[in-house]
Amino acid sequence: MRIYNKLKTSAVILLVVIVSMNLISCSSKKAENTDNLEINIGYQFGTAYFPLEIIQINKIIEKKYPNTTISWKQLGNTAAIREGMLSGDIDFGFMAIPPFLIGYDKGMNWKAFTGLSSVPSSLVVNSPDINTLGDFTAQDKIALPQQGSVQHILLSMAADKAFNEPKKFDSMLLAMSHPDAMDILRTKNEIKGHFTTPPYTQMELKDKDMKIILESNEAFGEEFTFIIGAGKIENETDIKKVKILNEAIKDALIYIEANPEDSAAIFSDKYNMTIPESKDFMNMEGVKFNQEIKGVNRFSEFMNKVEYISKAYNEKEVIWDGYYD
């Protein structure tokens, strides 16, 4: 009987310990999930940012982390995102690899932590006299988001291949947001070309006088990640924010894959395209939404060669260690 009572007492004590440990664990998890975090995100225009739109529309972060405050800022180019990050108004920015490398080279305290998308970028022209890069005259103008943008570097790569003059078109460039450049290209006055991305490519090609003379993969030579996420990742709070954002991107990618009809409807509404056009784009060759980062070394080596950055950076130098976990 005494042995039974001892066993019974031990079992009760063990049960109390287990319950207490579970309560502590749950309390700890609850505290971790209810921290009052503020995450400020900067991004740009175009379908390459579609997973971020899904995060916003479906309130993925707010539902999972209700005490986290999210701020979204849509800006015209990476220079504006860099300024926002320097001022503290933006924690994480989404951009292409070349402007990220330029910022890093200039001392920006940021690391890439995720890929977001690969989408085709195209040089659209509005003149029947321009069929190749060699047909541009010195007086013609080409619009793109900014010097140092991925479109600028791709154009430099194409010029290097065609003419052995990577900076051949630098004096012909005008910095404009994609919506503004599309409107001006249609007037057939100020600019002859626009190096752009969907949905603006498709919108411009509805004009029978518009055509594509250069594609991004043709200039680069292989597939690459078009948009990455970057930010300052120095302490536990920064890491917690990055993990929340990475989780949200993963959930958005799963949603897009699992809900093609709903995703196409959201896409259609967001980018002013019909449902069939939206489906065509999302199934287009070269369009991929994923978190892989590809192309850092190739961009870096070329940009260093033509002196857009001071040295060639290996991807391990500029990508957050947690990306590889």
Instruction: Quick: pLDDT tens for 132-151.
Output: 999 999 999 999 999 999 99
Tell me the mean pLDDT in the region 66-92: 92
Residue range 219-237, pLDDT digits in tens: 999 999 999 999 999 999 9
Confidence of residue 3 (pLDDT cuts 50, 70, 90): very low
Confidence of residue 198 (pLDDT cuts 50, 70, 90): confident
Q: What percent of the chain has pLDDT over 70?
A: 89
**Residues 119 and 178: beta-carbon distance below 8 Å:** no
The CATH homologous superfamily for domain 37-119+226-317 is Periplasmic binding protein-like II (3.40.190.10)
Least confident window among 77-81, 155-159, 239-243, 245-249: 77-81
Residue range 19-35, pLDDT digits in tens: 444 443 443 344 345 46
Q: Does the structural domain 122-220 have CATH classification 1.10.30?
A: no
Name the residue type at position 220: F
**Comparing C-alpha atoms, which of 239, 221, 185 is closest to residue 294?**
221
pTM here is 0.85
Tell me the mean pLDDT in the region 283-299: 95
The predicted structure's pLDDT at residue 21: 42
Sheet holding 211-215, edge to edge: 173-175, 142-144, 193-196, 122-125, 211-215
- Which residues of the chain form CATH 3.40.190.10? 37-119+226-317
